[in-house]
Amino acid sequence: MVTLTEIAATKVKELMNGQADSPEAGLRVAVRGGGCSGFQYALAFDEQREGDQIFEHSEIRLLVDSESLPFVDGSEVDYVESLQGAGFSVNNPNVVASCGCGQSFKTA
């Protein structure tokens, strides 16, 4: 399962307003190869695809493809504002190491 914090849900709704008109649309949470630790998160508004796992949270559809699910299962997407900037972050219990910049990760 993948969830959103309340602040992340509010921000996603704000960003989706007018961008995703289809009822099949949602926030895709995916993992891609890359970065100095091996994997990077990819968050984007997308349409549901065959094989996707769908998680509903705060009236938002979270779409996770079958290849990404083992890497993000149990994760929580947050939205963080700090002096360094603002953006989404993923709190992932499967991560065993991450790079110094925090943009990539490795799992067991």
Identify whether the C-beta of residue 93 lies closer than 8 Å to the C-beta of residue 71: no
Number of domains in the chain: 1
Provide the residue range defining the domain that includes 58: 3-107
pTM as predicted: 0.84
The whole-number pLDDT of residue 100 equals: 65
pLDDT at 96: 76
The one-digit pLDDT tens for each residue of the chain (108 residues) are: 999 999 999 999 998 886 666 777 899 999 988 777 678 889 999 999 999 999 998 889 999 999 999 999 999 999 999 888 899 989 989 887 776 665 677 777
Say what the pLDDT of residue 16 is: 86
Residue listed under structure tokens 């508004």: 45
CATH of the domain at 74: 2.60.300.12
Q: Which long-range contacts (CB under 8 A, 24 or more apart) does 62-68 make?
A: 62/2, 62/3, 62/4, 62/26, 62/27, 62/29, 63/26, 63/27, 63/28, 63/29, 64/2, 64/28, 64/29, 64/30, 65/28, 65/30, 67/31, 68/29, 68/30, 68/31
